[in-house]
Amino acid sequence: MTNHQIAVIVLAGGQSSRMGTDKALLEIEGKSLLQRALEVAASVTPQVYVLTAWPDRYRSTLTEQSQFLLEYNPGSGPLVALTQGLTEIPADWILLLACDLPLLEPQIIQNWASQLTAIPQSTLAIVPYQNSRWEPLCGFYRQQSLASLQSFIEKGGRSFQKWLNQIQAIPLPVGEREAIMLSNCNTLEEFEQLKDKIGSG
């Protein structure tokens, strides 16, 4: 798969209410979480977008190869954000990434991306799966999933888990390394724990 067929959307639109401060701007080893996510995204494809309602807040973080996608419905959740991305970005696949995954490993993401060429046309998503739950904010979504997603949202659907259970989605197996990589942080305490992991890793 040539890389122009994949685009990455990094979500930087959360309210970070449990954190009490903007998660995207928290720093580890001198780099903000958003910056770290953008660097991993850029290792997969040159098409990198930051979906946010507050571009000015993150302008200094933007890497050269990334650009803003202005969120037109802020606060309405990642399903609606993905809908906007699939509507506005011309790519066969979109990798959706949360900005609060400080342990992202480029190698694992690249390996997952390289599997997309072998995926049957009927498959609409390929998403990590562990403990009977999808990990949708580090998953790949085919352009053709847009119609099903729009229909789900129009019927009042807001749960990624329910939508992924309804469509043709392939689970990516999550081993120990992948499970660590998918650790996210919702509180400052969790953030400090993850920071320690990086420091000792």
Range of the domain at 103: 3-200
Cβ contacts of residue 75 below 8 Å, gap of 6+?
13, 15, 53
> Taking the model in full, what pTM does it have?
0.91
Overall average pLDDT of the 59-64 stretch = 80
C-beta neighbour count of 9 within 10 angstroms: 26
Q: What b/e string do you get for 132-158 counting C-beta neighbours within 10 Å, with b at 16 or more?
A: eebbbbbbbbbbebbeebeebbeeeee
Looking at residue 189, its pLDDT comes to 80
pLDDT digits (tens, 9 = 90+) for 155-177: 999 999 999 999 999 999 999 99
Q: At residue 2, does pLDDT exceed 50?
A: no
Dig out the tokens for 3 from the structure: 């890389």
Q: Number of folded domains in the chain?
A: 1
Average pLDDT, the chain: 88
H or E element, residue 96: strand 93-98
How far apart CA 191 and CA 66 sit, in angstroms, is 25
Kindly report the CATH number assigned to the domain that includes residue 14.
3.90.550.10
Q: What is the DSSP letter of 100?
A: T
Rounded (to 5) percent helix, strand, coil in the chain: 40, 20, 35
